[in-house]
């Protein structure tokens, strides 16, 4: 008899069936992965188990937890079940925690709601729990508000609050999607450790995570369960084409590298660029970016990689003129680009285009696709008549693999992948020389991500476009990057060509980023923890080498002297011991 | 204008909006053609038929008032004035408020600070004092009342639009437009303004009843519409005096005023639902 038994579960909203006839079971202390693309009904299934679906949902089938039926039971019964028997961790801890209540109090409430009487023991129990999920200095964090914690720490608190009442099953819905790779590895490691007492249902779109952390796998597609079985078997002999597709789409570290770029002219050059923000409360300057260089040639892709807070976005935004530069200079084809983007000449703005992470945010919701794609033409080629403009728009959409039927639609009527293609078509329609992609594929499903990357590569081969590709994930940039630039706390850590960085990283941080990548291979799943802790706040950068508190090779020199980037075997590395370390 | 066409298509999808809008349109139509087809004049006093109750046969559909004037024509005149107040006040507050607020919000910095302090200063002026001042300095005039009302309403509009613009300015599509090379005035006009339409429409439909109430209030104080011209607020006021003997004098204009106010409120609510639901999409 399984702990959780879902049979024939269907969920409908009005006429639309989002989950159809799903059946599976979870045994005590078992870890099961629920995998599918966005919109496949994963989260709906989880919410149904928790009894948290909206009232508009029509649920049929049965969900039996430890002998008790969940479908159709009263809120009162469900209240007893939630937290005490089933805990849940959501994707975004910032939204799941109450911003006005200190975290210790929030955890205490969970206990008080579930029959524990108050007093010192409760506080002790909360602190013990915080300690168990790896929160440093629990006594102090007890009184901290959610905004004072980093994303990773908040997710630890969420896990603590889900576990504190001692549930038998923990449901984690994309628990690491909002986190950096290194933090993701830590959270997954934590989930692994707590699993000795609790069964885990891990919901994710990322097969890499599943490969290392789940015994059994459930694959869903469009609300249907298409395949289930032991993780190893599913990876080695997938029965369903959809499983095959998901495995193929997951980013890997052993795929092919792009062919060497043709040596074009330097189009964009940044010298010693620094960016700082005024921090009003702390009355100090935040040095988001310090002395970064970039040399981008036509036909080349340079990836800028780092965790959140590494300054990668600030750097490219400063280059583009969206935020002011404190020091240094930027030149485009030999001409200096100074001042904010509004002050630059229209001609100049034509050649530098940006694709944002969130296509929904970067496309004006009031405009039709046709107008959106045509907008750059109205600015840069005002003489074009309506007919000519229309032809160009249609051609641009074809270039990115979209058909004319979308012309009259609005952005919210498109899927994430389609919207991102529109954003790319809009950027490419005036044939820029440089395209900057700021996490342009981070919000997309694996298969769509591959298509977008292929699209960018084709464009580059056809037109000699130079691309700057920002990402927090090394695995994603592998297939397109000729050179990779790794940043840490606003400074260059390593700059090397693609082959070099993936085969022989020379900086411990690069190594750590590579190790942390979860690989979709149950035999060697990656996601290793070779780095401690989290990136420190840019307000209080460590003395000496910025990376030394987290580095496992730290020597006394690292604590006092900040390393300058220097050449090591054709790469640029900022580590005192780059030659000696074998990583 | 595609934005207008889209808003229309949007409005058609909501029953609340269509029903309340339809009733308002019907009342407006009646108010325009009613006096035109009626044999009576709004100023003609007929002392032979004072306080006649509404009948179809005598030609006074809504009855007559204490001076024997035909109440149907007077009520329709009142509706005209009420709608005129609504239109003038909303246009004044719309034009000044949106341009002022969007400019302050988008340009930001010192310009924003100065512009918004001016709004604060105007807020601090007592409204009645302001109106009396206007009426003393200029000649008492129909249009002046409307402009006074609009001039009060645009302050709220400017604040709301500025707040909205501040958040729109940070949206990525504005940055995207800047990178593409779109000029600042064009961004305000083509990207900021259309995205404000939702808020602005909702706010306009919600301020219209407010403007109507202010006009009624001014008329009550004797600062508004002057005899023999009239407005719904004034008719209600007259009706209150005759409430016991001639209840229709109160009931008919009061019902119409209530209906108009309710319809505008429903229209505003319906609009807000429409635009909110689209934003959450």
CB-based contact A303:A264 (threshold 8 Å): no
Which of B182, B195, B197 has its CB closest to that of A375? B182
CB-based contact A444:A412 (threshold 8 Å): no
Binding-face residues of B in 92-151 toward A, CB within 8 A: none
Give the span between the Cα atoms of A531 and A183, in whole angstroms: 9
- Indicate the DSSP class of residue B189: I
Q: With contacts defined as CB-CB under 8 Å, which chain A residues touch B178?
A: 322, 341-342
Binding-face residues of B in 237-276 toward A, CB within 8 A: none
Q: Do A375 and B180 lie within an 8 Å CB cutoff?
A: yes
Q: With contacts defined as CB-CB under 8 Å, which chain A residues touch B194?
A: 364, 366-367
Give the span between the Cα atoms of B181 and A316, in whole angstroms: 17
For A153-184, the DSSP string reads HHHHHHHHHHHTT--SEEEEESTTTTS-HHHH
pLDDT of residue B280: 40
Q: Which residues contact A241 (CB under 8 A, 6 or more apart)?
A: none
Return the residue in A56, A314, A340, A366 with the most chain B beta carbons within 10 A, the one to mutate for interface testing. A366
pLDDT of residue A141: 85
pLDDT of residue A262: 66
Tokens representing A416 are: 């994430």
Which of A358, A379, A412 has its CB closest to that of B180? A379
Tokens representing A104 are: 């210790």
Q: Do B179 and A363 lie within an 8 Å CB cutoff?
A: no
Binding-face residues of A in 409-468 toward B, CB within 8 A: 412, 423, 426, 430
Classify the phi-psi angles of A83: left when phi > 0, otherwise alpha if psi is within -120 to 50, otherwise beta: left
Q: Residue A446: phi, psi to the nearest 5?
A: -50, -50
Q: B96: distance to nearest CA of chain A, Å?
A: 23
Residue of A nearest to B170 (CA): A361
Which of A356, A361, A379 has its CB closest to that of B181? A379
Residue of B nearest to A436 (CA): B179
The residue to which tokens 């009843």 are assigned: B209
* Class of residue A282 by CB neighbours under 10 A (exposed 0-12, middle 13-18, buried 19+): exposed
pLDDT of residue B2: 58
How many beta-carbon contacts under 8 Å exist across A and B?
65
Q: Do A376 and B180 lie within an 8 Å CB cutoff?
A: yes
Q: With contacts defined as CB-CB under 8 Å, which chain B residues touch A376?
A: 180-181
Give the span between the Cα atoms of B92 and B208, in whole angstroms: 12
Which of B171, B176, B181 has its CB closest to that of A354? B176
- List chain A residues with pLDDT less than 50: none
Give the span between the Cα atoms of A271 and A293, in whole angstroms: 5
Give the span between the Cα atoms of B64 and B42, in whole angstroms: 11
pLDDT in tens, chain B (281 residues): 456 776 777 777 778 888 998 999 999 998 888 888 777 777 777 777 777 777 766 677 777 777 778 888 888 988 988 888 888 888 888 888 888 998 899 888 899 999 999 999 888 888 777 777 777 787 766 677 777 777 778 888 899 999 999 988 888 899 889 888 888 888 888 888 888 877 888 788 878 888 888 887 777 777 777 777 888 888 888 888 888 878 888 888 889 988 998 998 888 888 777 765 544 43
Tokens representing A437 are: 């992609």
- B197 part of contact set with chain A, CB < 8 Å: yes
CB-based contact A454:A423 (threshold 8 Å): no
DSSP three-state, residue A289: strand
Q: With contacts defined as CB-CB under 8 Å, which chain A residues touch B281?
A: 412
CB-based contact A481:A258 (threshold 8 Å): yes
Q: Residue ranges of the alpha helices (H) in A51-143? A: 75-81, 93-96, 103-113, 120-132, 138-141
For A336-396, the DSSP string reads EE-S-GGGS-HHHHHHEEEE-S-HHHHS-TTS-HHHHHHHHHHHH-TT--HHHHHHHHHHH
CB-based contact A313:A470 (threshold 8 Å): yes
Residue of B nearest to A356 (CA): B172
- A28 part of contact set with chain B, CB < 8 Å: no
- B181 part of contact set with chain A, CB < 8 Å: yes
Residue of B nearest to A323 (CA): B175
- B178 part of contact set with chain A, CB < 8 Å: yes
Long-range contacts of the stretch A71-79 (C-beta < 8 A, 24+): A71/A9, A75/A51, A78/A50, A78/A51, A79/A113
Give the span between the Cα atoms of A412 and A415, in whole angstroms: 8
CB atoms under 10 Å from CB of B243, counted, come to 11
Which of B6, B191, B279 has its CB closest to that of A364? B191
Q: Do A361 and B2 lie within an 8 Å CB cutoff?
A: no
- B32 part of contact set with chain A, CB < 8 Å: no
The residue to which tokens 């819905």 are assigned: A173
- B277 part of contact set with chain A, CB < 8 Å: no
Tokens representing B135 are: 């009426």
Which of A362, A365, A368 has its CB closest to that of B176? A362
Element (H, E) at A455: helix A446-463
pLDDT of residue B58: 66
Domains, chain B, ranges and CATH? Answer: 3-280 (1.10.3720.10)
Residue of A nearest to B6 (CA): A366
Burial pattern A44-68, b for ≥16 Cβ within 10 A else e, equals: bbbbbbbbebeeebebebebbbeee
For B70-115, the DSSP string reads BHHHHHHHHHHHHHHHHHHHHHHHHHHHHHHHHHHHHH-HHHHHHH
Which of B172, B182, B197 has its CB closest to that of A379? B182
Beta bridge mates, A6: A24, A63
Q: What is the signed CA dihedral for B123, B127, B129, B131, rounded to 10 degrees?
A: 120
Give the span between the Cα atoms of A17 and A114, in whole angstroms: 35
- B189 part of contact set with chain A, CB < 8 Å: no
- B280 part of contact set with chain A, CB < 8 Å: no
CB-based contact A209:A38 (threshold 8 Å): no
Q: With contacts defined as CB-CB under 8 Å, which chain B residues touch A356?
A: 172, 175-176
């Amino acid at each position: 008899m399984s702990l959780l038994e879902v049979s024939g579960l269907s969920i409908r909203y009005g006429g639309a069936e989002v989950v159809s006839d799903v059946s599976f079971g979870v045994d005590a202390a078992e870890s099961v992965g629920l995998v599918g693309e966005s919109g496949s009904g994963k989260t709906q299934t989880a919410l149904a188990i928790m009894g948290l679906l909206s009232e508009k949902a029509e649920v049929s089938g049965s969900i039996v937890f430890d002998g008790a039926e969940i479908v159709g039971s009263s809120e009162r019964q469900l209240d007893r079940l939630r937290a005490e028997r089933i805990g849940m961790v959501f994707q975004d801890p910032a939204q799941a925690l109450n911003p006005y209540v200190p975290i210790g109090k929030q955890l205490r409430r969970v206990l008080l709601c579930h029959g524990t009487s108050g007093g010192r023991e409760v506080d002790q129990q909360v602190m013990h729990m915080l300690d168990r999920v790896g929160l440093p200095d629990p006594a102090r964090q007890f009184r901290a508000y959610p905004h004072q914690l980093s994303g990773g720490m908040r997710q630890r608190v969420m896990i603590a609050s889900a576990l504190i009442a001692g549930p038998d099953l923990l449901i984690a819905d994309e628990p690491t999607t909002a986190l950096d790779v290194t933090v993701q590895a830590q959270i997954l490691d934590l989930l692994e450790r707590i699993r000795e007492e609790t069964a885990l249902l891990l919901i994710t779109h990322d097969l890499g995570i599943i490969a290392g952390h789940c015994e059994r796998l459930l694959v869903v597609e469009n609300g249907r369960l298409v395949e289930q079985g032991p993780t190893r078997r599913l990876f080695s002999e997938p029965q369903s084409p959809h499983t095959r597709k998901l495995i193929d789409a997951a980013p890997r570290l052993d795929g092919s590298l792009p062919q060497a770029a043709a040596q074009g002219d330097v189009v964009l050059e940044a010298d010693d660029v620094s960016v700082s923000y005024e921090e009003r409360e702390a009355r100090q300057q935040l040095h988001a970016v310090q002395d970064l260089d970039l040399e981008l040639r036509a036909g080349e892709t340079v990836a800028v990689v780092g965790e959140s807070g590494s300054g990668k976005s600030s750097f490219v935004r400063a280059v583009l003129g969206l935020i002011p530069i404190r020091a240094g200079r930027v030149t485009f084809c030999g001409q200096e680009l100074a001042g904010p983007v509004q002050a630059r000449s229209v001609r100049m703005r034509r050649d530098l285009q940006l694709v944002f992470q969130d296509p929904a945010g970067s496309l004006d919701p009031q405009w039709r696709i046709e107008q959106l794609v045509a907008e750059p033409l109205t600015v840069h080629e005002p003489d074009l008549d309506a007919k000519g403009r229309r032809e160009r728009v249609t051609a641009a959409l074809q270039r990115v693999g979209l058909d004319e039927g979308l012309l009259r639609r609005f952005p919210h009527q498109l899927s994430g992948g389609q919207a991102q293609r529109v954003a790319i078509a809009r950027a490419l329609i005036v044939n820029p020389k440089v395209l900057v992609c700021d996490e342009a594929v981070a919000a997309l499903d694996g298969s769509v991500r591959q298509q977008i990357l292929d699209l960018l590569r084709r464009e580059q081969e056809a037109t000699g476009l130079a691309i700057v590709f920002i990402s927090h994930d090394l695995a994603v940039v592998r297939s397109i990057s000729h050179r990779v630039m790794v940043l840490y706390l606003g400074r260059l850590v390593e700059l090397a060509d693609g082959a070099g960085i993936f085969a022989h990283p020379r900086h411990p941080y690069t190594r750590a980023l590579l190790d942390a990548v979860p690989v979709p291979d149950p035999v060697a799943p990656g996601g290793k923890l070779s780095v401690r802790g989290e990136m420190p706040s840019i307000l209080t950068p460590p003395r000496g080498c910025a990376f030394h508190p987290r580095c496992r090779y730290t020597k006394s020199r690292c604590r006092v002297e900040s390393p300058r980037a220097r050449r090591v075997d054709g790469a640029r590395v900022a580590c005192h011991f780059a030659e000696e370390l074998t990583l | 204008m595609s934005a207008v066409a889209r808003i229309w298509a949007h409005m058609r999808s909501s029953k609340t909006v269509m029903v309340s809008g339809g009733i308002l349109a019907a009342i407006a139509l009646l108010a325009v053609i009613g006096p035109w087809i009626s044999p009576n004049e709004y100023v003609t006093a007929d002392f032979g038929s004072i306080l006649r109750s509404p009948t179809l046969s005598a030609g006074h559909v809504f009855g007559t008032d204490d001076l024997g004037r035909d109440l149907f024509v007077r009520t329709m005149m009142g509706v005209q004035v009420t709608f005129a107040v609504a239109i003038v006040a909303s246009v004044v507050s719309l034009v000044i408020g949106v341009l002022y607020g969007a400019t302050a919000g988008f340009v930001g910095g010192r310009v924003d600070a100065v512009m918004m302090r001016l709004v604060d200063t105007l807020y601090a002026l007592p409204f009645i004092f302001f109106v009396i001042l206007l009426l003393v300095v200029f000649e008492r005039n129909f249009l002046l009342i409307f402009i006074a009302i609009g001039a009060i309403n645009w302050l709220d509009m400017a604040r709301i639009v500025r707040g909205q613009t501040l958040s729109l300015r940070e949206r990525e599509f504005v940055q995207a437009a800047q990178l593409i090379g779109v000029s600042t005035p064009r961004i305000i006009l083509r990207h900021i303004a259309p995205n404000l339409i939702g808020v602005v429409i909702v706010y306009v439909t919600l301020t219209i009843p407010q403007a109507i109430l202010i006009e009624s209030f001014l008329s009550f104080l004797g600062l508004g519409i002057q005899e023999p011209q009239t407005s719904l607020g004034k008719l209600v006021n007259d009706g209150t005096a005759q409430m016991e003997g001639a209840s229709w004098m109160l009931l008919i204009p009061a019902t119409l005023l209530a209906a108009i106010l309710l319809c505008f409120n429903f229209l505003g609510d319906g609009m807000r639902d429409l635009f909110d639901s689209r934003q959450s999409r």
